[in-house]
Amino acid sequence: MAEESVLVRMAGIGKRYGGVRACEGVGFTLGAGEVHALLGENGAGKSTLMRILSGDITDYEGDIEVDGQPVRFAGPTDAQTAGIAMIHQELDLVPGLSVADNIFLGRELRTSLRTVDRRRMYREAKALLTRSGVDLDPGRPVGELRVGEQQLVTIAKAISLDARVLVMDEPTSALTTSEVERLFVVIRELRRAGVGIVYISHRMEEIAQIADRASVLRNGRNVASFDPRELSTAEVVEAMVGRPVQTLFTTPDAPTGAELLRVDDLALTPRRPRPGRRDPAGISLTVKAGEIVGLAGLLGAGRTELLETLYGVAPRGAVAGRIVLAGKEIRPSSPRQALKQGIGFVPEDRRASGLVLFHSILANTVVSSLPTYGTAGVVTRRKERAAAIRMADRLRLKFGRLQDEVGTLSGGNQQKVVFGRMMLTGPRLLLLDEPTRGVDVGAKAEIYRLLGELAAQGLGVLLASSELPELIGVCDRVVVLKDGRNVAEFATAGASEGDLLAAAMGEGTLFDKAEGVR
């Protein structure tokens, strides 16, 4: 790369969290008009490196140059002034503010009288959303949006900064296929305008499609840099994990257990309307012991809302239909009640719904199963710690000390903590909402292996995912939802991604679940 085209040069970057070395002697360059993919397992140091570049982390070793000039940012504002913006994997929006207010937060547009010019903010926010391929009302509160819609708002916010360097950390993790395609159109427009883009993703097919160059970090160090079109997915994954990954999915065995869960015509009518939410409107399905059943559907189909209703976290309202677990009709009204009945839930937004970020890894791991570690309300710390260590080993969790704050872990390791916490409750039925969102290929394989083990032990799993290969590769059956109803059901042995997508879009018909044919 010619020196005059280099926007960013990072050299000898080092950062430590407690006993964990997140980055050690890392180098990275980014050119004008280049999309440079940054790859690696969760905990490899990708997000840490980019948070240093964007001014989020100010205490680090090494040197950074922007346009050939040495810089050391005191915070994100300094980085933005230098033309560097970052779209974080974990969303940093204010739920109570509108979409427009979030986009211009801290940079509010003013009238000639110095009052906030809300009309102009609304108008410009609408234009930014349209440019990003989003059809949203700029006046709508962000807290009413789905995770995928919130992610699109953060992308529009970053574009509004007119940055010369844009860091995208897992920007497509909650997007539909059509939204990803629209995002790629925007990225190509930015590239033609000379913007340098750092693209962090675990989706190999995206890297080959959009990146000009790719670099791999492992254990906080540089290990490879290459043209993403010159290496196979297997070779890239091996560079990331340091070992061959033979297969990502394991073919599930046909379930032989008795019916564990039956949902008959389940519908929820909240007392208060929930704009943008699609509550169950007549869903029926079953899950057998030892079976993994997938939930497919487009954004807004009602997958998350179904899982929330089963776990007792749906809003108050009239519930119709029946939920039968192990032959007994239930109606969970709270997570505590659901846990007692043997239902565990791993939510999509782990930071907002699954973790207390300023509490320890230990506390977050055992909080849902505390009664099992003592008697008469007195917890035996030795038992509590032993359970956490056992689960950390089983999930191959990367951490320094159990007393470290869980917020210091990488996104994938945070997800493992939520997963482990639910497993320690000993559930009969496990509800999973996008369980591998933002998780690297190696960790995905570990989660799939674990799901296979749990199913073999007789656990029932209901798994909602936007990744069609995941549903087909992991599940025994897939139920497709649309507008809060089940519209199709597939035996995965005879189904394709096209079948699932056609059904989700309303172009499919019901499949015979025994035969897997129309």
What pLDDT was estimated at residue 327? 94
Segment 126-163, tens digit of pLDDT: 999 988 778 899 999 998 887 778 888 988 898 888 88
3-state secondary structure of 93: coil
pLDDT bracket for residue 173 (50, 70, 90): confident
183's CB contacts (< 8 A; 6+ apart) are 132, 133, 155, 171, 172, 175
Which percentage of the chain shows pLDDT scores above 70?
91
Q: How far apart are CA 462 and CA 474, in angstroms?
A: 11
Q: At 162, give phi and psi (nearest 5°).
A: 50, 45
3-state secondary structure of 340: helix
User: Is the domain of 206 the same as that of 170?
Assistant: yes
> Is 199 a member of any domain?
yes
> Is 251 a member of any domain?
no
Q: Is 154 within 8 Å of 93 (Cβ atoms)?
A: yes
Sign of CA dihedral 306, 312, 317, 323: positive
Q: Which residue did the predictor score with more confidence, 242 or 54?
A: 54
User: Is the domain of 227 the same as that of 267?
Assistant: no
Token pair 């043209």 is at which residue? 227
What pLDDT was estimated at residue 513? 34
> Is 287 a member of any domain?
yes
> Is 212 a member of any domain?
yes
How many domains, the chain? Answer: 2
Q: Counting beta carbons within 10 angstroms of the beta carbon of residue 296, is it exposed (0 to 12), middle (13 to 18) or buried (19 or more)?
A: buried
Token pair 């059809």 is at which residue? 135
What pLDDT was estimated at residue 245? 59
Q: Is 322 within 8 Å of 310 (Cβ atoms)?
A: no
Token pair 């749990």 is at which residue? 454
Q: How far apart are CA 48 and CA 457, in angstroms?
A: 38
Averaged pLDDT for residues 401-426: 85
User: Is the domain of 362 the same as that of 454?
Assistant: yes
* pLDDT tops 80 at residue 332: yes
β-bridge pairing 374-375 and 378-379: antiparallel
Averaged pLDDT for residues 337-356: 84
User: Is the domain of 208 the same as that of 267?
Assistant: no
3-state secondary structure 394-413: HHCCCCCCCCCEHHHCCHHH
Q: How far apart are CA 424 and CA 372, in angstroms?
A: 9
What pLDDT was estimated at residue 509? 36
Q: Is 252 within 8 Å of 476 (Cβ atoms)?
A: yes
* pLDDT tops 60 at residue 360: yes
Token pair 């360059």 is at which residue? 29
From 479, 468, 448, select the one nearest 286 (Cα to Cα): 479
β-bridge pairing 196-200 and 20-31: unpaired
CA dihedral 481, 487, 492, 496 (to 10 degrees): -90
409's CB contacts (< 8 A; 6+ apart) are 43, 361, 398, 399, 417
User: Is the domain of 216 the same as that of 323?
Assistant: no
- The distance from CA 10 to its chain's CA centroid, rounded to whole angstroms, is 28
User: Is the domain of 187 the same as that of 276?
Assistant: no
* Amino acid of residue 145: L
How many CA atoms are closer than 13 Å to the CA of 154, on its beta-carbon side? 28
* pLDDT tops 90 at residue 474: yes
Name the packing angle between helices 441-456 and 233-241 (round to 10°).
90
Segment 435-444, tens digit of pLDDT: 887 777 777 8
In this structure, the chain runs to a length of: 518
User: Is the domain of 167 the same as that of 316?
Assistant: no
> Is 316 a member of any domain?
yes
3-state secondary structure 281-296: EEEEEEEECCCEEEEE
* pLDDT tops 90 at residue 478: yes
The phi-psi region of residue 36 (left if phi > 0; otherwise alpha if psi is between -120 and 50; otherwise beta) is: beta
> Is 516 a member of any domain?
no
> Is 249 a member of any domain?
no
CATH code at position 446? 3.40.50.300
Q: How far apart are CA 247 and CA 433, in angstroms?
A: 23
pLDDT bracket for residue 110 (50, 70, 90): very high
- The distance from CA 412 to its chain's CA centroid, rounded to whole angstroms, is 9
What pLDDT was estimated at residue 516? 36
Whole domain around residue 446: which residue ranges?
259-504
* Amino acid of residue 197: I
From 95, 59, 87, select the one nearest 195 (Cα to Cα): 87
Q: How far apart are CA 36 and CA 155, in angstroms?
A: 17
From 86, 436, 35, 54, select the one nearest 199 (Cα to Cα): 35
User: Is the domain of 320 the same as that of 466?
Assistant: yes
User: Is the domain of 328 the same as that of 394?
Assistant: yes
Partners of residue 268 on adjacent β-strands: 319
What pLDDT was estimated at residue 94? 92
Segment 198-240, tens digit of pLDDT: 999 877 788 989 999 999 998 899 999 999 888 887 788 788 8
79's CB contacts (< 8 A; 6+ apart) are 53, 54, 55, 73, 85, 86
The last residue of one of the domains, among 196, 215, 241, is 241
User: Is the domain of 219 the same as that of 275?
Assistant: no
Q: At 473, give phi and psi (nearest 5°).
A: -80, -25
Q: How far apart are CA 12 and CA 391, in angstroms?
A: 35
* Amino acid of residue 493: A
What pLDDT was estimated at residue 25? 96
311's CB contacts (< 8 A; 6+ apart) are 332, 335, 338, 343, 345, 431
Q: Counting beta carbons within 10 angstroms of the beta carbon of residue 518, is it exposed (0 to 12), middle (13 to 18) or buried (19 or more)?
A: exposed
User: Is the domain of 371 the same as that of 470?
Assistant: yes
Biggest distance spanned by C-alpha atoms of the chain: 72
**C-alpha angle 234-239-245 in degrees, rounded to nearest 5:** 45
> Is 518 a member of any domain?
no
Q: Which residue did the predictor score with more confidence, 74 or 42?
A: 74
What pLDDT was estimated at residue 512? 36
User: Is the domain of 228 the same as that of 274?
Assistant: no
* Amino acid of residue 320: A
